Structure 1
Amino acid sequence: MSRRKLCQICGGKAYKRYFGVVSCENCKEFYKYSVRTGKLYVCSGNKEGEEQQCSINLKADTEPCKRCLFDKCKAKGMTRLDVKLYQRFNRRQLPIKTPGIIKQLVRVYFSVFQLQERQFQAKNAKPLLLSDTPLEKSRSSYKASMFSQLCSQYEPLIYKMVKFFSRVPEFSTLPSDDQLILLKTGFIDAWLVLNARNLSIVQDSLTLCDGAQIPVCEFTTVYTKDYVTSLLELSDDFRVMKLLPYDRAVILALVVLCSDRPNLIATDKVKEMKDSLLKSFRQFLQLTRPSNTNLYTKITNLLSSIYDIGKQHALLMNMYRAELDNLHVSSVITELFDLHPPHAYKES
């Protein structure tokens, strides 16, 4: 049962977010209709050219002023882009024979990662410097400092991943230790799925899906030139394939459901879940893009590339385990990347 909330627009009953704002069905439908039809409203309380903010009250006897209701929707954070994305994900009809697991993944993906899609569509660039001091590549402390700053970009995604996979069918039935292992080892792979389509070098900066632009020299210093090259090649593959948000929802689940992760208990069950999802995905691709007969093969190859880059990242973490004194990351990041002293592994 969803927890009841109050609509931020009119104060009525609300159970979820629409267009980024906790709102009721009436306000959601009103804003969507207004944007789609391009309606222009005049404030009913506006007299002699004076601006007036009418009261938007659900319990009022009279119908609320549409101009002020629309303005309040925008003031609370609803945008035209939100409506466009809502139509794309929620209203565009999937084929009747679309497997149920695909429908559920798409619905969960949109509810959890709507902000990422909004930011990608908006393409609002915002420079992000990983270091506020002159770059000294010979000093490992600078690398550790920049890596710490980059981790602040990773952290918000951790909680979204937990939220997403808590709603993925059967994932919660896995042993809790297996869930943790899959989320930890699959994090960078998931980050790649969400960011690869927008990774590009513009004016010597690497642009991420949230619009953050990181100088290439700094990103390369944090990792390696080969690693950055692999990211850009993967980005090219994503753009050439022109994958839909539906595809990203499924690929996100596939990269995490990897039975080859070390120390898994229920490896057979994870493999069974992934094989079942791959079968459904193949059927979905045949339904939606029957003329693109090689798409499924291309996506499976894409998965292999993602796994390879994830393994590169895991190896690169060794250099930061030797610089723990210079790292300033949260406990969540510490556990995510296993940033513990090397001797801790020997003792275990």
Structure 2
Amino acid sequence: MFDFMDFPVFGPGEIVDFYSASSPACTLQERDRDQDLAAFFPELIDSDWQEHRCSQSVESQSSNCSSDDLFASPASPPPPPRTYKPCFVCQDKSSGYHYGVSACEGCKGFFRRSVQKNMVYTCHRDRNCIINKITRNRCQYCRLQRCFAVGMSKESVRNDRSKRKAKKEAVKMTIMETYELTAELGLVVEKICRAHRETFPSLCQLGKYTTNSSSDHRIQLDLGLWDKFSELATKCIVKVVEFAKRVPGFTGLTIADQITLLKAACLDILILRICTRYTPDQDTMTFSDGLTLTRTQIHNAGFGSLTDHVFTFAGQLLPLEMDETESGLLSAICLVSGDRQDLKEPSKVDVLQEPLLEALKIYSRKRRPSMPLMFPKALMKITDLRSISAKGAERVVSLKMEIPGSMPPLIEEMLEDLQNLESCQRGHTSFSL
């Protein structure tokens, strides 16, 4: 009944080790197991299992090695550290060959600085001072002469300096090449910059003038300054609307979304603009017609408690040193923000903002290759602007109770709650879109 089984034949007296991988019994068991596995998992036998068998074979071969092989010779010790002759100049411990001779770090640096700066030294004795590691700092003249005497080379210093300069220039050029505006982004930057410049003249283009009205101390409200400020603010809002209409893609949005974005960002842009006309040494700000007011006068003109927040923000902008292109791009980014409430098509607004963000990132990094954090720092100012704008809206509410008569309609409408937006969309808005 066991005819189908293929048992190995053992000789008389033969001892069989059933636990050895090389024994016939073990071979039989493994062959049968392989056949069974191959029937159900052919891909396993073709790949993973064969790999497993090979590893077993290697282990088996290694187990048959002689006992001498088990005790490998110890690894050869590491080579001894390289040693140099003492410093040729002062006999101190050398750190290697510098400028043609074995020299210590001190003499290497001394020689390099002396050559690069064309230093002229004077010996106060007989120009024959002893130079060693104790006396080397006592006479620079004799130390430099000693450097030349032992063979230090001026040309090696110049070549080393040229290599360092070339390396720095190569790194700089690599950075410059990395941040290049594409033709399309370059056109966006050009349009934004022109729109910003034509709706907001720079400080140097204005003829400054001042007023002595209520400049001594803070009061609740100076009606004369308020009338002047409200007149200027109305004109500035019109300029912001004009700027918005020239932002690429803005007029392609729905009228409702254009109004929503303008009302949400108008005060942000106005604050950003006035803060770029801050003069820190005089603590003044200059408005679009050239009127220059002190912090106290701006407080009395209607800013009230908002004044210090605006001036603090202006001071924080100074380290960024933004030019008019960056100010224009940041204003446009404030305008087309898809996270504004009550937008009908926020995804379209986000599409408009993406090239503006990319343009500002590339432009700012190209302008300041060594200051890569300027772009994120500029974007963080948008959060500060929104916080100040929220306080500005609260200030307008309190102003309504302080001023006689009514608030100028464009100012009031710009800062009214967005819950009244529907009435504006029905044609009752003063925004000229």
TM-score by length of 1: 0.59
More displaced stretch, 311-320 vs 207-216 = 207-216
Larger radius of gyration: 2
Q: Which runs of 5+ in 2 are unaligned?
A: 1-178, 424-433
- Amino acid of the residue matched to residue 415 of structure 2? F
Q: Which runs of 5+ in 1 are unaligned?
A: 1-94
**1:255 match:** 334
More displaced stretch, 170-179 vs 312-321 = 312-321
**1:224 match:** 304
**1:313 match:** 392
Aligned in 2, Cα 1:267/1:128: closer, same or farther, shift over 3 Å? farther
**1:117 match:** 201
**1:64 match:** none
**1:107 match:** 191
Q: Is the 8 A contact 1:259 1:270 kept in 2?
A: yes
**Aligned partner (choices 186, 189, 211) of residue 268 of structure 2:** 189
3-state SS of 1:127 partner: coil
**Aligned partner (choices 348, 351, 373) of residue 294 of structure 1:** 373
User: 1:325, CA displacement in angstroms?
Assistant: 5.0
Query: Is 1:284 aligned to 2:363, yes or no?
Result: yes
Q: Which has the higher contact order (CA 8 A, sep 6+)?
A: 1
Q: Distance in 1 between matches of 2:340 and 2:223?
A: 27
- Paired residue total: 242
Query: Is 1:158 aligned to 2:243, yes or no?
Result: no
- Amino acid of the residue matched to residue 366 of structure 2? L
Query: Is 1:179 aligned to 2:258, yes or no?
Result: yes
Identity %: 16
- Amino acid of the residue matched to residue 110 of structure 1? R
**1:61 match:** none
Q: Is the 8 A contact 1:130 1:147 kept in 2?
A: no
User: 1:299, CA displacement in angstroms?
Assistant: 0.6
User: 1:306-339: CA deviations, max 9, x gaps?
Assistant: 121111111212213445753352x333322339
3-state SS of 1:234 partner: helix
Q: Is the 8 A contact 1:182 1:258 kept in 2?
A: yes
Q: Is the 8 A contact 2:191 2:246 kept in 1?
A: no
Q: Is the 8 A contact 2:196 2:324 kept in 1?
A: no
More displaced stretch, 106-115 vs 174-183 = 106-115
**2:164 match:** none
- Amino acid of the residue matched to residue 229 of structure 2? L
Q: Is the 8 A contact 1:189 1:255 kept in 2?
A: yes
User: 1:216, CA displacement in angstroms?
Assistant: 2.9
- Amino acid of the residue matched to residue 204 of structure 2? Q
**2:414 match:** 336
User: 1:257-310: CA deviations, max 9, x gaps?
Assistant: 223333222223223322442133223333333221111111111222112111
Aligned in 2, Cα 1:295/1:230: closer, same or farther, shift over 3 Å? same
Q: Distance in 2 between matches of 1:203 and 1:183?
A: 32
Query: Is 1:126 aligned to 2:240, yes or no?
Result: no
Aligned in 2, Cα 1:259/1:127: closer, same or farther, shift over 3 Å? same
Aligned in 2, Cα 1:102/1:317: closer, same or farther, shift over 3 Å? farther
Q: Distance in 2 between matches of 1:130 and 1:109?
A: 35
User: 1:251, CA displacement in angstroms?
Assistant: 0.7
User: 1:177-198: CA deviations, max 9, x gaps?
Assistant: 1111211221121112222122
Aligned in 2, Cα 1:250/1:185: closer, same or farther, shift over 3 Å? same
Q: Distance in 1 between matches of 2:354 and 2:334?
A: 12
- Amino acid of the residue matched to residue 157 of structure 1? C
User: 1:214, CA displacement in angstroms?
Assistant: 2.4
Q: Distance in 1 between matches of 2:325 and 2:180?
A: 15
Q: Distance in 2 between matches of 1:278 and 1:149?
A: 36
Q: Distance in 1 between matches of 2:284 and 2:374?
A: 31
- Amino acid of the residue matched to residue 240 of structure 2? M
Q: Distance in 2 between matches of 1:321 and 1:209?
A: 24
